[in-house]
Amino acid sequence: MTAPEPRALPGPVSAIRLTYTCEQSWWDTGEDEPEIWHVAADLYDLEGDTSVEHVGGFEFYRADPYATRDLFGVLDGYDGDVGVIAESILDPSTGHFRDDLDEYAEPFGSGMLLLNSAQLTRPWRGFGVGAVLAGKAIARLGAGARGAACYPSPLDRTGLKDDAAHDRAVSALQRTWSRLGFRPYRDHGVYVLNLGTTALSEALPPLTERIEALPQPDREEWEAGLAREASCP
């Protein structure tokens, strides 16, 4: 019995572009709010230099207790995974990172990159594309940071009928982040990646090559199809 053909990607991965946007409010002086980065992944038509399809999005916080006053209070007030991560990696009595974090992240430096959310559109799920895109974003935004932290948990609960299905989804996400070099930290479900090591740079190339080897539309034919669609009245 032959193995089934792998599912084809909905578009050429070489056409995916990551766009980084930093959020800052009018009243933010740099001491009361962490850096908030939104990373959008889109398919781009290079000839027209336009986005033609949204692939997914990521939200990161650059957290530094020396740069943001009452970092624990600020992060704990946010919705999403970042509050759970803050409770795990920050000591509420001091507002600084817990001492045992030195065993999981680079001991030197002050900041951590926190992944608050990661979500792909439904057609792009199940290929491993999200992990590669997240890894690329972490490599870009994590420069100078001690490490990166995430809380593997499904954002989209559609189809998760019971606790067992939820647990399976969490386990799958944990395996995904582990492939990038994340390790479980304490017992709160938070995972940490040491950015002072080569773990991420060693993990990304084979994961990227695996995605590129999957069946997908030819880039030139795909762009030619876009051009034909644009020319139709």
Question: How many whole angstroms separate alpha carbon 63 and alpha carbon 99?
Answer: 16
Residue 142 inside a domain? The answer is yes
Give CA angle at 212 (208, 217), nearest 5°: 150
| Three-state secondary structure call for residue 110 | coil
Report whether pLDDT(227) > 80: no
Sign of CA dihedral 201, 206, 210, 212: positive
Burial class (CB in 10 A: 0-12, 13-18, 19+), 44: middle
Who's near 94: CB < 8 A, 6+ residues apart?
none
Burial class (CB in 10 A: 0-12, 13-18, 19+), 76: middle
Q: What is the pTM of this model?
A: 0.90
- Quote the percentage of the chain above a pLDDT of 70: 90
CATH number of the domain residue 122 falls in = 3.40.630
Give the pairing of strands 183-185 and 50-63.
Answer: unpaired
Give CA angle at 150 (78, 145), nearest 5°: 95
Question: Could you list the residue range(s) of the whole structural domain that residue 17 is in?
Answer: 13-231
Closest CA to 112 of 59, 148, 67: 148
Q: Looking at the 3D structure of the chain, how many domains does it have?
A: 1
Question: How many whole angstroms separate alpha carbon 176 and alpha carbon 191?
Answer: 11
Residue 67 inside a domain? The answer is yes
* Per-residue pLDDT band at 166 (split at 50, 70, 90): low
pLDDT of residue 233: 62
Report whether pLDDT(121) > 90: yes
Residue 120 inside a domain? The answer is yes
- Quote the percentage of the chain above a pLDDT of 90: 54
Residue 1 inside a domain? The answer is no
* Per-residue pLDDT band at 76 (split at 50, 70, 90): confident
Q: What is the pLDDT of residues 20-51, one digit of tens each?
A: 999 887 877 666 778 899 999 999 987 767 88
* Per-residue pLDDT band at 162 (split at 50, 70, 90): low
Mean pLDDT of 200-229: 91
Sign of CA dihedral 159, 163, 167, 173: positive
Do 89 and 101 meet the contact criterion of CB atoms below 8 Å apart? yes
Residue 6 inside a domain? The answer is no
Residue 2 inside a domain? The answer is no
pLDDT of residue 161: 57
Residue 8 inside a domain? The answer is no
pLDDT of residue 56: 97
Query: Element (H or E) spanning 54, and its range?
Result: strand 50-63
> Picking from 75-79, 155-159, 164-168, which range would have the lowest pLDDT averaged per residue?
155-159
Give the pairing of strands 183-185 and 190-194.
Answer: antiparallel
SS3 content of the chain, % helix, strand, coil (to 5): 35, 25, 40
* Per-residue pLDDT band at 130 (split at 50, 70, 90): very high
Q: What is the pLDDT of residues 198-209, one digit of tens each?
A: 999 999 999 999
Question: How many whole angstroms separate alpha carbon 114 and alpha carbon 118?
Answer: 11
